[in-house]
Amino acid sequence: MMYTRSHGALRRSCFSRSNVLGGVAAALVSLSPQALQAAEGSGPISDFMTMDVCTQSDGSVAMGKIPGSPDCSSRRNIKPGEQPTYILQNFSGPRSKCAGGAVTKVNIPVTIGANTRITSSTFKAGCAGPQSVDDVEGAEDNGLSIQWYDKGYGFLMGSYSPVALSTFESDQCADSGGTSRRFFRGWVIAPATVPARGESGYGVFPSKLHNGQPSELPVACATRYNRGLTTWAVDDFTYKSDRRLLSIVSSHYSRSGEDGKGPGKAMQVEQTYWTREFGLSRWEKWAREDWVHPRSQKSAADLAQRLVSAGRCSRPELAAVRYNANLQVSGVSSEPNVYSRLVTDPSSGESHMWYMTLCEDYTNASPAAPKMDYIKSINGLANDIYWR
């Protein structure tokens, strides 16, 4: 397992850093302690996992206001037990009559027993989002992921979706004592102290994917763990909502190379975007040029064209990043009708084009229905194993 700051971008871009270190150091001398802290990093990762709520002058929640909007002058993280005052939705296609997409998301902390975890839930309840618990109770399309952090990293512990129940066991299992620490760093997002704007890094984290109910997991720890590569970069990103927000862009490759410095023979990567305002804000799936969908037999390029034609996600305006001497990722290609990037391992000279084949952008924010109880709905999906 390792962590490194960026070794520099391939070209000047939104993920590049100034090399004029002397000037930067001189400028930092005159900064206040608060400004100096901001210059050294972007704050705790918990702030990027959790929705904010807007507040009034007395500190109470300002109902219906959206973080990042001009009328939201003060805000804080939503607290356990507080109902969201707004919802996040994906976007409908250009031919849809809906203002919002069919998927509603909220990213909130939930306390069960003595422990708190941060949950990211999805409810499929139509254009306006769920109006009451009855709209989502027992729906098979509901989903939930559970996140947390330790002193080193923020991570996903497990997830539920209509496709699969997935639990991410890490090599901390042996020292977990039968607690939920078994799932700490099972799917790493980024460091617990988020790097500063323009910084990037990577790491290899041993984990084991289990499918099925987490309560049915084997008592014994896994005997072998997969070594998956995770990269992260921090900078401003413009979403389909036209909101430009400081974001953690985290890429979780299915595998890593033997040297732990590149994706090796990985064929797929899931890329997630995390913001202070909303928490989990966007999700993408990318596939290597030679990957073929096992059921539809569609190529990565074919699925990428279908995604662009659906019109529900904006172009991922990510610039080139050099994560280390072995791993370089180009900016998004100008190739028409697809979103693609070139991933290169300079040490071996091997390069592959990767295509974005799936995407959901959840920055389509609107006031929440006053009668909707999200906490009750989330508790119906949550499994206590992640709170032990």
DSSP class of residue 292?
B
Average pLDDT over residues 247-273: 93
Residue percentage of the chain with pLDDT more than 90: 61
Q: How far, in Å, are 20, 21, 198, 241, 368 from residue 17 at the CA level?
A: 9, 10, 6, 27, 39
Reference 311, options 102, 92, 88, 89; nearest CA is: 92
Q: If pLDDT is split at 50, 70 and 90, which confidence band does 365 have?
A: very high
Residue 286 confidence (pLDDT) above 50? yes
Tally of CB atoms within 10 A around 278: 30
pLDDT given for residue 161 in this prediction: 72
Average pLDDT over residues 366-388: 85
Contact 200, 232 (CB under 8 A): yes
Compute the Cα dihedral for 248, 121, 186, 342 and give only its sign: negative
pLDDT digits (tens, 9 = 90+) for 298-321: 999 999 999 999 988 999 988 899
pTM score above 0.75: yes
pLDDT given for residue 19 in this prediction: 31
pLDDT given for residue 140 in this prediction: 61
Least confident of 11-25, 262-276, 278-292, 311-325: 11-25
Among 15-24, 142-151, 163-172, the range with the most confident prediction by mean pLDDT is 142-151
pLDDT given for residue 369 in this prediction: 83
Q: If pLDDT is split at 50, 70 and 90, which confidence band does 26 have?
A: very low
Share of the chain residues as helix, strand and coil, in percent rounded to the nearest 5: 15, 35, 50
Reference 189, options 262, 118, 252; nearest CA is: 252
* Average pLDDT score over the chain: 85
pLDDT given for residue 91 in this prediction: 92
Alpha helices (H) along the chain? 21-29, 33-40, 46-49, 300-310, 374-381
**Alpha-carbon gap, residue 277 to 155, rounded angstroms:** 19
Contact 386, 214 (CB under 8 A): yes
Average pLDDT over residues 276-280: 98
Least confident of 71-80, 139-148, 319-328: 139-148
- What SS3 state is found at 244? strand
Backbone dihedral angles phi then psi of residue 40, each to the nearest 5 degrees: -80, -20
| Beta-bridge mates of residue 76 | 53
Q: How far, in Å, are 31, 239, 268, 279, 313 from residue 317 at the CA level?
A: 31, 9, 20, 19, 11
Pairs from 51-55 (Cβ < 8 Å, separation ≥ 24): 51/77, 51/78, 51/84, 51/88, 51/106, 51/107, 51/108, 51/277, 51/278, 51/279, 52/76, 52/77, 52/78, 52/276, 52/277, 52/278, 53/77, 53/78, 53/82, 53/84, 53/85, 54/85
Residue 5 confidence (pLDDT) above 70? no
Average pLDDT over residues 353-365: 96
Residue 40 confidence (pLDDT) above 70? no
Reference 200, options 149, 247, 155, 259; nearest CA is: 247
Contact 87, 368 (CB under 8 A): yes
Tally of CB atoms within 10 A around 377: 22
Residue 216 confidence (pLDDT) above 90? no
Average pLDDT over residues 251-279: 93
pLDDT given for residue 137 in this prediction: 58
Identify the burial level of 304 via C-beta atoms within 10 angstroms of its C-beta, where 0-12 means exposed, 13-18 middle and 19 or more buried: buried
Compute the Cα dihedral for 105, 108, 112, 116 and give only its sign: positive
Reference 104, options 122, 84, 117; nearest CA is: 122
Contact 90, 63 (CB under 8 A): no
Contact 119, 51 (CB under 8 A): no
Average pLDDT over residues 175-183: 94
Residue 115 confidence (pLDDT) above 60? yes
**DSSP-assigned states of every residue in 166-220:** EEEEETTGGGSTTSGGGGTTSEEEEESEEPPTT-EEEEEEEEEEEES-GGGS-SS
Rounded CA Rg of the chain:
21
Domain-by-domain residue ranges, the chain? Answer: 42-387
pLDDT digits (tens, 9 = 90+) for 331-353: 998 788 999 999 998 878 889 99
